[in-house]
């Protein structure tokens, strides 16, 4: 891991990996969306609303995955002081927050015809809403720390505390009675018909690749901003 700690080495890899992830993600996402919207039959119970599955599930996965990435980066920052860890965490926050918001929005759209209501305060929906607020808090903390030039340890500790919410989201439909259906995918088992499962897996992979490409692009932009600020400070010192 420390072999990629050098920003120059990281940028050399990210320069070609970013477009590769973005292009492959777009191709897979477009293919899965076309498959899910036009080729998959309506569900016996949910009818045509089942098609939102191909956006809602990847969004939920990446909403939780984004915070997991922030937490792992925070561990690397606090334990190993990895030079790029804080940048990786900051870069993961905004796309993770967007996917969390998409998950909540599509879940509400799905819930209205399926459950007869836009929103219920059950374990899954409430813990996902808490995740959205955690993202907002982390982004504010990280931006304030970077602006004031102070340690990124405070946002990192906040990220680790917030990570407690991830297993709560994952197990909420098991721990509490809920309108939300129980897990359809578990280790080695699937309750989803293959007609829906394969385009769903492709959609999850495609959106995950897009997420990775966006994170790398944001890391490159943050590094460029930091390098530009450092150059400006050097010039200011030289002319002072």
pLDDT digits (tens, 9 = 90+) for 150-169: 888 999 999 999 999 999 99
Using CB atoms within 10 Å of the CB of residue 192, give its burial: 0 to 12 exposed, 13 to 18 middle, 19+ buried.
Answer: middle
Sign of CA dihedral 39, 41, 47, 49: negative
pLDDT digits (tens, 9 = 90+) for 158-211: 999 999 999 999 988 877 777 777 776 665 566 688 888 999 999 999 999 999
Domain count, the chain: 1
Q: 90 in a domain, yes or no?
A: yes
* Distance between start and end Cα atoms, the chain: 40
For 64, the domain range is 47-178+194-239
Q: 186 in a domain, yes or no?
A: no
Q: 189 in a domain, yes or no?
A: no
CB contact set of 53 (below 8 Å; sequence gap of 6+) = 36, 110, 196, 200
Structure tokens at 133: 């607020």
Q: 95 in a domain, yes or no?
A: yes
Q: 24 in a domain, yes or no?
A: no
| pTM of the complete model | 0.91
Q: 72 in a domain, yes or no?
A: yes
Q: 16 in a domain, yes or no?
A: no
């Amino acid at each position: 891991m420390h072999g990629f700690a050098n920003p120059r080495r990281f940028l050399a890899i990210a320069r070609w990996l970013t477009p590769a992830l973005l292009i492959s993600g777009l191709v897979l996402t477009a293919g899965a969306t076309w498959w899910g919207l036009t080729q998959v039959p309506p569900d016996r119970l949910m009818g045509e609303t089942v098609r939102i599955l191909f956006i809602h599930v990847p969004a939920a996965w990446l909403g939780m995955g984004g915070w997991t990435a922030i937490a792992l980066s925070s561990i690397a920052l606090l334990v190993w002081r990895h030079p790029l860890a804080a940048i990786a965490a900051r870069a993961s926050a905004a796309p993770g927050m967007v996917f969390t918001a998409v998950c909540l929005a599509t879940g509400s759209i799905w819930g209205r015809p399926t459950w007869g209501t836009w929103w219920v305060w059950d374990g899954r929906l409430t813990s996902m809403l808490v995740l959205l607020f955690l993202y907002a808090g982390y982004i504010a903390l990280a931006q304030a720390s970077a602006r004031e030039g102070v340690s990124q340890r405070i946002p990192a500790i906040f990220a680790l505390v917030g990570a407690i919410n991830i297993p709560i989201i994952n197990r909420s439909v098991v721990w509490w009675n809920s309108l939300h259906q129980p897990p359809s995918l578990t280790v080695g088992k699937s309750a989803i018909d293959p007609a829906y499962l394969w385009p769903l897996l492709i959609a999850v992979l495609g959106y995950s690749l897009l997420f990775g490409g966006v994170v790398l692009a944001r890391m490159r932009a943050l590094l460029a901003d930091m390098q530009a600020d450092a150059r400006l400070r050097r010039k200011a010192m030289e002319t002072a």
